[in-house]
Every structure is written in structure tokens, then in C-alpha cells.
Structure 1
């Protein structure tokens, strides 16, 4: 809340340079803010009495937005990369897919491994489970399986 929106009878006031001005009536604090040509902003509304500060509100909002943008910039977005396998994959092809997954993991991304069955391959789902197990075994030195294999 700023300026006239503050309805409390008494507030604890902090000056524009950060000095404590003590507990005073809101009207007196408003007068001091107007003399300094700044705004009276409620900083801690839950305190007894509420804490208000004399600051330039536009500058204050600008600083908050800038801090939020800076925090957002430092966040790392984790992508989920997908590696597709088939049940009749050869050993060398599997090694190629493992090396691709290893690169993704080292860059900080997550890897989703999909074993795709087509047509008659659906009849041999259980015999192809070893492919996913081998894939996980190859990467166990740098990765952990989050979710076990499911149909």
C-alpha cells in the first residue's frame, strides 16, 4: 500500500536514507513524505505497528522487477530429451544411442528412453526388456533411473 491507501492510525517510519524515525501518526508521516516529494510505502503490514518507508515508489517497483528478471536469468531450465529404440536394435546401434544419451545427461538434461514396438513386435514385449536394462546399465555411472520401465 502507498500514500493514502495506508489506513493505520500509527506507523513505524523509516526515512529515505534508512534511518529510524520512530512511531508516529500516519498523517505526520504523510506530511514528511510530501515534503521530501517521495511516497510513503507500507513495507511490513503485519508488524505492530506496521512499518512504512519514505521512498520513490516508481524506482522501488523498477528495482523489484529488475531483481526478478535477474533471478529468472540465473535459473537453469532442464529439458527432457528423448532417445527412441526398437526391439531389434543391434549392439553398435545401441552404443550410439547410449553415447547420445550420455551427452544429453552431461549437458544437464534429462533423458527419456522409449522402446517402440510395431506390428508383430508387440508379441515379444517381455523378451525385449533386456534392451532397456542394458541401456540403464551403460549409463549407471553418470545417471540414475527416475522411473522404472512401463508399458
Structure 2
């Protein structure tokens, strides 16, 4: 019979233990015991959802207070005296941390990687089109970084373009600071004979005048699907990291074993000199060795010259051993 997974029944989200374990793993925290899973009979210090102390109560009384408030009772730490518990909507709190600490940050990192790049030779018409694109983009991420990479002698012209961009977009975004200039070097120089041209990189970051609060209020099925996606991805990344680590610290065979394997391969590939001579049509002899496991030979005819060659061959073979 399958064990019924506990469901935390207060708040908007009602995660079972499976989802709670996945979210906790993503947040790198230990899952907390909640409600009827708490098997504790001593006194507890009770905190509210804002981590303010409510008071010290017996555990059963604290459970009743949580039920009265329509929230979950969470065991934070039962190793201390008195133990520490919290009244909150456990699933909702985990969902909020997941969206803010993982989803929001990772999405922001993706958007930051897709920063705006302009050319130092851009025309005014193209610059106005870029302003319209910036207007749509900053609505999604609230911040925007604009970059120009140009030869050092055109740096003044590039700065002028950024100032023009600032003037054209002042209705919906403002710069967070001044233009930053630094040396830029290409990762690869394909033409080694040609001296690399000195270049500079100019960056300026903008922020939206009217910042949009992203709605994190997702339906139950959507947030569970999102949790499962991130959890599967984290497992895949972990597997890839472990494989890379195993490849890096791969246990190598001892030198003696390597030499033995090498010798074995050489022996398999190369015929011995004796076998080559036996295959020669000039000689007409056979092995006669059924039970004694000793090498003995006889000639099919009485040709003396063949016998002499065979004798030398056997003598060489035995000396080799």
C-alpha cells in the first residue's frame, strides 16, 4: 500500500511532500516538519510569518493557535530549548522564495546577458529604431546595459552616440551612472601577421523610470510544473558536473599493468619468427604435440638441408624462451 504524502492545506499553494523536497533542494535548505508531521511534546517558542515572537506555548497549544489563524505550524529547530516553531503558509513561503531566489535571479541573468550592442557607425535612423527596441526590452527587465566596442580613435564618436541615445530615451529610462570605458581585446586574432587594432569598450546602464513589478502569482499547476523543470535541470547539471569531475580525476592504471597490456597487444599483432618460418613453403614439416604439451617436429621427407634448417630454427626458438 502506498504511503499518502502529507498535504499542507493552508494558503494558496498546497504542496505535497514531493514538491516540498524538490523546492527545498533547489533552495539548498532542509525541509521542515509541518502540522501533523511534528512529533514533539515540549514547549516551543512561536514566531509569526514576519519572524516576530508570539510567545512560548506547549507544542499542542501552538498547533491549535496555527489552526485558529488558518496557517501551518512549521518546526524550525527542535534541538534548542525551547524549540523554535513558526506560524505561516509554508507552501506559499517556499513558492515565494523559489520565484524570488531562483526564477527571478536566473531570468534576470539571462536578460543581462542579452544586453544592447550598438555600432560606432550607426546612423540616426537606425538609432531611433534601437530606441524603440529598448523601450520594449526595458519593460521586461527594468534595467538595460548598452555597449559599444570601437577603435580607440573613434571613442569620442561612440560616446556621442550614447549621449544621443540617452536624450532620445529620457521619457522611459534614465542612466544609473556615467559611461564606463575600458580596454577591449579580442579573444582570437586570426591574422597573426596583422597587428591587432587597439579597441575600447564603452558601457552605460539604464533603469526604467516606471519599474514594473512582475506578477509571481502563478496557478498551482504552473508553479509545480516550473519547480519540476528547474529540479530536472539541476539534476542534469549535477550529473554533468560529476562526469566532468570523474574525467578530471580519473584513476589511471598502474604503470606495470599498462606495460603488460602493451606487451599483450604486441604479441597478438605480431607473429613469432618461428611461426613465420613454419608458414614458409620451403619447409615441409608438422607439429606433433597432442598430449605432452612439448614441442617436437618431424620431416615429411628425408631432405637433409631442410632438417638442418629446421634444427637451427628449433634451437633458436628454445634459446629465445
Q: State if a TM-score over 0.5 links the two structures.
A: yes
From 84, 97, 115, give the equivalent of 2:148.
115
From 157, 174, 184, give the equivalent of 1:127.
157
The count of corresponding residues between Structure 1 and Structure 2 is 114
Give 3-state SS (helix, strand or coil) of 1:102's partner: helix
Question: Which string of whole-angstrom CA distances, capped at 9 and with x for unpartnered residues, describes residues 38-86 of structure 1?
Answer: xxx688999xx94778xxxxxx9xx63x123331466483432411111
Give 3-state SS (helix, strand or coil) of 1:84's partner: strand
- Does the Cα contact within 8 Å between 2:131 and 2:169 map onto a contact in 1? yes
From 12, 37, 50, give the equivalent of 2:57.
12
Where in structure 1 are there 5+ consecutive unaligned residues? 20-40, 54-59
- Does the Cα contact within 8 Å between 2:116 and 2:147 map onto a contact in 1? yes
CA distance, structure 2, for counterparts of residue 4 and residue 73 of structure 1? 28
From 68, 84, 92, give the equivalent of 2:93.
68
- Does the Cα contact within 8 Å between 2:43 and 2:83 map onto a contact in 1? no
Where in structure 2 are there 5+ consecutive unaligned residues? 1-32, 45-55, 67-74, 182-321
Change (3 A) 1:52 1:73: closer
- Greater Rg, structure 1 or structure 2? 2
Change (3 A) 1:51 1:72: closer
CA distance, structure 2, for counterparts of residue 143 and residue 50 of structure 1? 52
Correspondence list, 1:41-52, <5 A = 50=82
Pair 1:92 & 2:117 matched: no
- Does the Cα contact within 8 Å between 1:94 and 1:135 map onto a contact in 2? yes
Question: Which string of whole-angstrom CA distances, capped at 9 and with x for unpartnered residues, describes residues 84-122 of structure 1?
Answer: 1111110111111111111011234321101121xxx32
Q: CA RMSD in A?
A: 4.0
Give 3-state SS (helix, strand or coil) of 1:12's partner: strand
TM, length-normalised to structure 2: 0.29
CA distance, structure 2, for counterparts of residue 95 and residue 42 of structure 1? 55
Higher relative contact order (CA 8 A, sep 6+): 1
Runs of at least 4 residues off by over 3 Å: 1-8, 41-46, 49-53, 72-76
